[in-house]
Every structure is written in C-alpha cells, then in structure tokens.
Amino acid sequence: MSFNPEQKPLDASISAKPLQPDDSVRRKSDVEPYPVKFYPVPKERVWGGHDLKQMFAPRVRDEVPDGPIGEYWVLSGHPNGVSIVSNGPYRGYSLVELTEMFPSEYLGASMQPRFPLLIKFLEAADDLSVQVHPSDDMAQAVEGDYGKTEAWYVLECAPNGKVVYGHNFSSRAELKRAFETKRVTDYLRYQTIHPHDTVFVPSQTLHALLKGTKVIEVQQTSDVTYRVYDWDRVGTDGSPRELHVDKAADVLFTDRHEGAMVGAVASRNVTRPGLQASAGDTKVLVDCPYFTLYEWQMSAHSQAVLHRLGSVTPDILIVVDGTGTMTWGDDGEVPLVPGDTCLIPVSVDEVRIRSGASQDKAQHQGSTDFLRLLLARY
C-alpha cells in the first residue's frame, strides 16, 4: 500500500467555520453556555487496573464494571464514548448536543466537525500492546477517520519507569521477519519517565505504556490503533487480540520520522493565544499543530484569574493534584478535585480559581492544598 504525500490532510480539508445547530436539539433558550464537567466513561481493558476506580467510581453515570479499567474518557465527542454533562442546567446533555446547540461556544474553530480532542486517564496495571497510530492522510485513506497524535502527562510510574518509544527496524521486511520469529522486543527503544514528565507521541511513532504507569492522555479525537505486538497474551475472551502488522508497517515506513521525547515542545504552524493567568506558575508542555498543553500550578490558598478574551476555541481544564473552586460571572461555581475535566466555552472571558478551597476536599483525603492543573487548547 502506498500513500500520496501530496494528499490533502483530512483535518485541513474541513473548514474551521463552526457548524450550524441541528433544529432537533433540545436547546434551553434561557440558559447561556457555561463551564461544564462530565461523567467519566470507563473502558475495560485487559491491561487495565483497579486503582483509579477509587477516584472515578463515585462520578460515573452508571456502575463501574468489575473488570480491570484501563481508560476513563473524561472528555469525548467520539461515538465510542460520548461525554455527558454532569453539572448545571445542561446536566444529562451530551457533548455532541452542546456542540450542535452552541457551535461557536463549545466547538469554536475546530479542525474536525466533531469535538477535536479526547481526554483520558489511563491506568496500565500491565503492559499495553506495542502500537502505532496513523497520520491524518493515512487514516483518511484506510479508515475514513482521523489520525492520532497524542501526549502523555505522567501521574505515576514504577521506579526507573520506562515507556516504549521508537524502534530500530530498518525496513518493513525486517519488521515482518521480527514478527514471524517472535523477536519484536529486540528492536524496541525505551524512554525513561518520571512523575510529571510529558511524553509527546506524534502519529507514526511506535509506542507503549508499560506496567505500573498512570497518565493523563490528550489526543486527537480518533480511535484508530494498529497493534504490532501484544506480549503473547490473550484478551478477556481468552483468545489472542488482533494484530495489524501490515497496516502498522505502512504507517511506520511512510515518511518515517522520530518524534520529540520527554519534556519536548513540538513545532507547529498555527497560532494560539498563550495562557494568561494572573497568578501561579505556568509552562508549555507540548505545542503541536493539533493542540497546546500547559501546566499551571498554584500555591496553597491562592487566587488567580484565567483571562480568555479573544479566544476562538473553548479551553479544557484538567485537575491533576489538589483541590479548589472555579467561579465565573456573577454566581457560577464548580468545585475542582483530582480527575475533574472542565470545558470552558468561548464566551466566558475569564474564570476565577481559588486553590485549596473545594467543598469536596473531605472526599479526597490524598489531595494537597496547592493546585496543579493542565490546560489544553486547540
């Protein structure tokens, strides 16, 4: 299989003009857009665990499955797990409905007609499959979907923790031989990680989270994954999981590149406003064509204002550590606790954040008074 390098990427072929709302959507005419939180969507995975259930079980809309949970989708417009609002007048509405009712507010200048980013918390109690995601043009040609560039923010990892990142295959023929002779692991590259590291994983990068790792994942909205190796294990049904070696080889050996590694900032060709906060320490973790990811840390019992005037896309605020409260307008307010993800619509020009002030803090005894946040912007 071959791909035309001149083919127009799928994301670039879609206008950034907001979609028009569907007349069938249940819009409440007297309710203006406001910052929303969502019920997490748990996903059973053979490599998943049970630790994050303590954080997310009280917040899911339905019961958490008894099996190992590998992923909690905390913000998603993907049909495999659409987010449902958990606060305010639009509680019970889906993210899809919000973007149809208020396209300029909850979608803005998006590169996809659906919400373009998917946010997850991942728990790897076992090694993930060694895998690769296609670029946009490849995914469009083969799957009719988008590619997947992603970033991991490391929450926890084993001592001397590592991830699979890259490979030493010289050709697709060598990859096929390694697969047939069960020597794939001989060609894998590894990258050391630590808590609070950021790993940028562009599409076409061979990668895998390994046992004992928990991360926040920010990614393009896509669910296209090609597995190369699955550690010779069986899935939950007792059968080996499907591998996609031929498709993976097409991805790995078409315009092959090596991405940036831990703590790196990728180059991009789009302009986004910087994070303008009145207090706290901020830094850019990843800056790529699909999103910018910031870390924002506030000291104990401090206050800050996030200024958003002039934004053309909503902001995504993710709570990593600590507790707090976010307010906006005259009386809008939501508590902030670890695992929360808030979508701030375009029309909300500023939000005020106080650290260590959440009324829910008693439910999160492991929380600290300082507040560490991630902010994603596309």
pLDDT, tens digit (0-9, with 9 covering 90-100), for 55-107: 999 999 988 999 999 999 999 999 999 999 999 999 999 999 999 999 999 99
pLDDT band at residue 12 under the 50/70/90 scheme: very low
pLDDT at 21 over 90: no
pLDDT at 170 over 90: yes
198-201: strand order across its sheet:
41-49, 69-75, 117-124, 213-220, 150-156, 198-201
For each of the domains in the chain, give its residue range(s) and CATH number, in order of start: 11-252 (2.60.120.10), 276-377 (2.60.120.10)
Element (H, E) at 43: strand 41-49
Query: Going by C-beta distance under 8 Å and a sequence separation of 6 or more, which residues neighbour residue 47?
Result: 68, 70, 124, 125, 126, 127, 128, 129
Q: What is the mean pLDDT of the chain?
A: 87
Q: Is 227 a catalytic residue?
A: yes
Catalytic residue chosen out of the listed positions 59, 114, 189, 227:
227
pLDDT at 63: 87
pLDDT at 346 over 80: yes
Query: Going by C-beta distance under 8 Å and a sequence separation of 6 or more, which residues neighbour residue 24?
Result: none
Rounded to an integer, the average pLDDT of 138-142 is: 93
pLDDT digits (tens, 9 = 90+) for 237-286: 888 999 999 999 999 998 644 444 444 444 444 556 678 888 889 999 99
